[in-house]
Structure 1
Amino acid sequence: MTYSEVEEIFCLTEDRKYKYFFNRVAESEQVCGLKDKNGWITISDDKGRTLMPLWPSYEFAKYCKENQWKETEIESIDVYEFLEYWLEGMKRDGCRILVFADTSCGGISVDALEFKNELEVFLSTNSSN
């Protein structure tokens, strides 16, 4: 995927980006986040809520790493591990998912359990297995 193709996806409407995210995650069976020396990157929204930026593949995380979070490393998380072990704990800790975070800290903010339910349904109905 080229740099300009990545930029084109970032320019899609929120609805189309969200669908693209789920489709790519179903294909790759992973999500990507960024870590620094202190752990996983999170940001706060204008309501003071904690958000964890996630991308559906390495290329999108790399784009944001290079353009905003230069001192980070890209980490992949197995999507099934993420569903089973991460999302309920994130909800408990008050952390939301920021789907397709962009270089201006925009993205699609989703409640962790809502995200979990939507992704489980999507994977069960769109699995290639």
Structure 2
Amino acid sequence: MNNTEIEAVHNLSASKRYEYFIKKVADFGEVWRLYDDGWAISEEVNGNPLMPFWPKKEFANLCAVDEWKNYKAEQIELEDFMQKWLPGLKSEGIQPSIFWNNVDSAVLDIDTLILDLEDEIKKY
């Protein structure tokens, strides 16, 4: 990816970044998160925990700033993400924060995320 493409996608609305996430994750079979002695976690205004995920390493790295400045992007295989990570987050009451861009992200129900990924994967 070149810098122009990264910047253009990074600046899309949260809903458009979510669509991009679904397509790229299904296409490449991987999801990215940030890690440094624990996973990057944020929270909603009401205090509910959120775990951010990105479609590409480059986008995760753009968010490794401020309290996450020492965090490094790490990959999750899509199958593990769907079969282990998402059910685990659901049982812990943590919602996925899809494609945070240091401003906002798409926050949605885990079951909806799984269905959207399954629908996209069927196209391949």
TM-score, structure 2 as length reference = 0.90
Equivalent residues, number = 123
Rounded Cα–Cα distance in structure 1 between residues aligned with 2:116 and 2:46: 24
CA distance in 1, matches of 2:54, 2:24: 9
In 2, the alpha carbon distance for the partners of 1:13 and 1:62 equals 19
2:51 paired residue number: 52
Letter in 1 for 2:44: D
Q: In 2, distance between residues paired with 1:15 and 1:112?
A: 16
1-structure distance, mates of 2:11, 2:80? 29
> Identity percentage over the alignment?
31
> How much does 1:15 deviate?
2.6
What is the TM-score of this pair, normalised by structure 1? 0.87
**Deviation of 1:4 (Å):** 3.3
What residue number does 2:101 align with?
102
Equivalent-residue separation in structure 2 for 1:3 and 1:47 (angstroms): 35
The aligned residue for residue 10 of structure 2 is 10
Unmatched runs of 5 consecutive residues or more in structure 1: none
Distance 2:13 2:4 in 1: 17
RMSD of the alignment, in Å?
Answer: 1.4
Confirm whether residue 34 of structure 1 aligns to residue 30 of structure 2: no
Query: What is the match of residue 118 of structure 2?
Result: 120
Distance (Å, rounded) in 2 between the aligned partners of 1:98 and 1:123 = 20
